[in-house]
Structure 1
Amino acid sequence: MEVGKTNGEILDRLNTLLTRTRDGERGYQEAAENVKDTELKSLFLAQSRQRGEFAMEIDREVRTLGGDPETTTSLVADLHRAWINIKSTITGHSDKAIVEECKRGDGQALDDYQEILKNTSLMASTRELLLRQKERIESAHASMARLADVV
């Protein structure tokens, strides 16, 4: 663990996580708009709301630490959502393809959380917040993996 991180570096990493969390919120929203199955639509909307709550929590944490929260999404996520739209069009809005993309997105989110938790010296309250969020994303990722096998 890098113990010499300055507050600015920690805020940068939290802001990166905040941006990616907002990406997940929008990605799930996009997925909900593109699936046919109403249960999947409800699940994706719930995941989108959850990621929105996570973003608000990280936003508050950044402010608590004296930083200015990022307010945008990443270019990579914008491109990913465009890819979901293209892929959905090509596959006839295949629910399976969309679930696979959500699973992939959750996998990336888990990598992002692992990175900040492993390589950043965080206050206990910040670490607890991120560990709780990571646990819920792990659950969503497992659900997407199971769904990908049956859709």
Structure 2
Amino acid sequence: MDNSKTVSTLNDLLNITNDRIQGFSKVEDKVWDIYTPLKNDYDQMVRESQNMKSELIRLITERGGNPDDSTTTAGALHRTWIDIKNSFTGDHAESTLENVVFGEKAAIDAYQEALQKGNLCPQSTVVVADQLEHLKSSYSKFENLERNTD
């Protein structure tokens, strides 16, 4: 197994996880006035993201790599788009919910692609697959709510 491919893939996932954390910081508390039952799920997602980040950094370091603790360009552009959109339309709980679902779907896609490429060592594959299951679970909760608000 090529260690550099594993480290590169893990760094890509670290960037995606950092996008997720940054995106969560955009969710304003007023959303929870409407979606009160999801507040605990959201808080759990934030904690899970921090744990995922720590696990990825650990895996990268154990393989002799240097963690790239930045975000992706696509994530930064998406967050900027959200800011611009909200400045014109006002912050709406529904659009915030849509953005959470969009971000979770993008993270799931990136994790699935990382697993499918086969560049991860066995230990990293287990951790990434577990993290993917957490992403799918949170996505499902928010996607179901989004469908019910349409």
TM-score bin, normalised by smaller chain:
0.7 to 0.9
For residues 69-108 of structure 1, the C-alpha deviation after alignment (integer angstroms, 9 at most, x for no partner) is: 0021122212211222222333321111111111011111
State the number of aligned residues. 146
| Distance of 1:91 and 1:134 partners within structure 2 | 33
* Match for residue 26 of structure 2 among 5, 24, 30: 30
| Distance of 1:79 and 1:121 partners within structure 2 | 27
How high is the TM-score relative to the length of structure 1? Answer: 0.86
Structure 2 residue identity aligned to 1:9: K
Instruction: Report the aligned-residue RMSD.
Output: 1.8
Relative contact order higher in (CA < 8 Å, ≥ 6 apart): 2
Gaps of 5+ in 2: none
For residues 14-55 of structure 1, the C-alpha deviation after alignment (integer angstroms, 9 at most, x for no partner) is: 101101111101101212x26432435554343222212101
Identity of matched residues, %: 27
User: Which portions of structure 1, spanning 4 or more consecutive aligned residues, are displaced by more than 6 angstroms?
Assistant: none
Answer yes or no: is 1:46 the counterpart of 2:44: yes
Find the counterpart in structure 2 of residue 86 from structure 1. Answer: 84
Find the counterpart in structure 2 of residue 131 from structure 1. Answer: 129
How high is the TM-score relative to the length of structure 2? Answer: 0.87
Gaps of 5+ in 1: none
